[in-house]
Amino acid sequence: MKRVLLIYPRPKDISMSSDTPYPFPMLGLTLLASLFPPEYEVIIVNELLQEIDFNEDVDLVGITTLTSLAKRAYEVADRFRERGIKVVLGGVHATFMPHEAMNHADSVVLGEAEEIMPRLIGDLERGELQSSYRAERVHDLEGLPMPRRDLLGKGYSPIFKVIETTRGCPNRCEFCAVPVIAGRRYRTRPLSDIERELRIIVERGGEYIFIVDDNVIGQKAHAKGLFELLKGFKVRWMGFATIEIAKDEELLRGAQESGCVSLFIGFESLNRENLEGPKRKFRGVKDLQGLVERIHDHGIGTQGSFVFGFDQDDPGVFERTVEFIHKTRIELPNYSVLTPFPGTPLWERLNREGRIFDGDWSHYDMSRVVFLPKMMTPEQLQQGYLWAQKYSCAPRSILKRLLLGPRHHLGYFLLSNFVLRKAQMKVIKRLKGIPLPVSSS
């Protein structure tokens, strides 16, 4: 029997603004584990919750890489390779930086694992592991195996379960890697497959579902069928969507009736000139306010994502964004610093323009400035982000938004805000006073 160790690397001394005491159960590595033959013994370690045993007797180590965690991923990989253990690196960062990853791995997986794993496992058994494997096409989502949730250890949220129903995105947002790695068309799982997985989840006590799709309403006919399915299971759920849902009464009502508690909506910017593709359709802030109100009128809360540092952002963007959040009573705001991740058009453009000044991957966590903005200094962008974060996670701000707002799912949002406040304050403390260039000229 071959033994495989799958690792999510995460330094414990680095806080991120999304950290919670009980993180959602991970989906990526449980899906990957399901692709190994039944005679393989698979172990999953999330370094945020468990220690890595570098003396583990295994035949293969697989490590997933996000850009901000790449440095730690390489450290872990090097430790195992020193013992002669075969190491495979995969994930977004390894896909876009394969030559870098190859310095720390016996093999690098580029793209989605479903297309690759049968070849990789066959080569491993023959002792002919290749230096890299690239997915030649995106994988059909019909008949995906059930994620190996049984391999997750303790420490995850006891009430939330995670599920995937679609992949891909046709939008061409400059800063986003999803269309590049997951394809520019929406792929949908058959509703019968989703029903089978939901049945398993509910039988095991899953009352709250987190749908990890990048846009749960991307394929509207599929979304309506999904909402009808969820309605039958009587669960509560959260997921990612665009503000377009507020323009479709049937879709919005379907989400409400299916048990939707909250939608994470990527507003990104209040400046139309910063937006691309379909997001440029909105006519102004007043339109957005009306659309948020429509979502609230259907008993659904909003988690709004806002990004600072676009080329049309000036030093007043922080105050304008916070003011919008308070006017609309967005229950849970999420702020990020624009980050040029490898593989994105933004990375290519800023590199071409000579505007990226920081190559330390551990700084690419969407809370630290690594490039030269156009209409403000890096210091102004960094401090403006920290000001907005600190303002919105202050107890007075949280209570004002929630108690004067629609009060839908008030207990959930009160708990979420104050749980995340602890992580956000750690990030603010960590980044306070960091040295940055003072001029963008």
What tens digit of pLDDT does each residue of 330-340 get?
Answer: 999 999 999 99
The 10 Å Cβ neighbour count of residue 394 is 13
Cβ–Cβ < 8 Å for 193, 143? yes
Residue 240 — φ and ψ, nearest 5°? -95, 140
C-alpha separations of 249 from 195, 211, 226, 254, 296 in Å:
25, 21, 16, 8, 13
Instruction: Encode 212-247: b = buried (16+ Cβ within 10 Å), e = exposed.
Output: bbbbbbbbeebbbbbbebbeebebbbbbbbbbbbbe
Q: How does pLDDT run along the chain (441 residues), one tens digit per residue?
A: 799 999 999 987 777 888 888 898 999 999 999 999 999 999 999 999 999 999 999 999 999 999 999 999 999 999 999 999 999 999 999 999 999 999 999 999 999 999 999 999 999 999 999 999 998 888 899 999 999 999 998 999 988 999 999 999 888 889 988 887 888 789 999 999 999 999 999 998 878 999 999 999 999 999 999 999 999 999 999 999 999 999 999 999 999 999 999 999 999 999 877 766 555 555 578 899 999 999 999 999 999 999 999 999 999 999 999 999 999 999 999 999 999 999 999 999 999 999 999 999 999 999 999 999 999 999 999 999 999 999 999 999 999 999 998 999 999 999 999 999 999 999 999 998 888 876 544
3 state DSSP class of 168: coil
Amino acid at site 255: A
Which residue type sits at 188?
Answer: T
Let me know how long the chain is.
441
Domain boundaries, the chain: 3-134, 149-431
Could you check whether 3-134 and 149-431 share the same CATH topology? no
Distance, in Å, from the CA atom of 285 to the CA atom of 272, rounded to the nearest integer, reads 9
* Superfamily (CATH H level) for 3-134: Cobalamin-binding domain (3.40.50.280)
SS3 203: helix
| Top CATH class, 149-431 | alpha beta
What are the tens digits of pLDDT across the range 276-316?
Answer: 655 555 557 889 999 999 999 999 999 999 999 999 999 99
Kindly report the pTM of this predicted structure. 0.94
